[in-house]
Amino acid sequence: MNVLTLVWRPLLVVVLALALVPAVFAQSGTAKVRVIHASPDAPAVDVFVNGNRTLTNVPFFTASDYLDLAPGSYRLQIAPTGQPASAAVIDATATFQAGKAYSVAATGPVAQIKPTVIEDNLSAPASGNAKVRVYHFSPDAPAVDVKVAGGATLISNLPFPDASAYLEVPAGTYNLQVTPAGGSAVVIDLANTTLEAGKIYSVFATNVVAQITPRVAVTTPVVAPGTLPATSEGASMPLVVLAGAAVALIAMAALLRRRAAL
């Protein structure tokens, strides 16, 4: 049970837990995709999908909602705002399958920027529980552990750029801490972190270590064919949704929108 996702708030964000969505979702015939701009020194960018400019002037840090996308392969390119696709700093092809969900992120500093594609799980947690996943997107941060203050280690040795497995925990308030892997120094102290039943929490650790910032997106599980998961927005974690980002999403993470801060 990886509480890392929770604890991760201000830490790192990883992207690796994969899981199946419910059968109902698989029957919808579409893929669910969100795009994340997690490159800390990258300027605002434009996203091209199959050669068409789809998103413009997307800043760091942004994450879109999950949007419906027809299954298939897409060419995704990301270029500085106002520049043509030929100036893309990311040029990649991504394939999305029907009935699955994905996070596509642009990770790393500009000099080493790359696309990170993670398969997500939008199935509902058991009654009375919440699901949490931590994404380690802080390029110069070491691998970390996530712990309950004074208690057990929930996530061990989570590196950049990776994501923890989903942690399913009873709804409630938790005191979480993030430390360097194997160490005891508290890098992030997340006291009184509240998780609501029936919600899926994505915790992104963004920016460089000196300015590491937690970003949180809250998603409602997929419950029926064709139903888009709704993103909850609270005063403490605003999220900006990008229309049509579904495709751009794939564009890889160089940008996306949903400003979420916790």
pLDDT, one tens digit per residue, over 116-147 is 999 999 999 999 999 999 899 999 999 988 88
Work out how many domains the chain is built from and give that number.
Answer: 1
Q: Which pLDDT does position 245 carry in this prediction?
A: 31
Do the domain assignments include residue 257?
no
The sign of the CA dihedral 57, 60, 65, 66 is positive
Judge contact between 213 and 207, C-beta under 8 A: yes
Judge contact between 43 and 165, C-beta under 8 A: no
Q: Which pLDDT does position 54 carry in this prediction?
A: 84
Q: Which pLDDT does position 232 carry in this prediction?
A: 29
Do the domain assignments include residue 232?
yes
Do the domain assignments include residue 261?
no
- The predicted model scores a pTM of 0.74
**Rounded-to-integer distance, Cα 74 and Cα 251, Å:** 8
Q: Which pLDDT does position 125 carry in this prediction?
A: 96
Assigned token pair, 123: 């199935």
Q: Which pLDDT does position 68 carry in this prediction?
A: 86
Q: Which pLDDT does position 126 carry in this prediction?
A: 96
Do the domain assignments include residue 142?
yes
Assigned token pair, 187: 């890098």
Print the domain residue range for 224: 4-250
Q: Which pLDDT does position 5 carry in this prediction?
A: 31
Do the domain assignments include residue 14?
yes
Residues of the chain under the 70 pLDDT cut: 1-28, 223-262
Do the domain assignments include residue 42?
yes
Q: Which pLDDT does position 215 carry in this prediction?
A: 87
Do the domain assignments include residue 262?
no
Q: Which pLDDT does position 129 carry in this prediction?
A: 97
Do the domain assignments include residue 259?
no
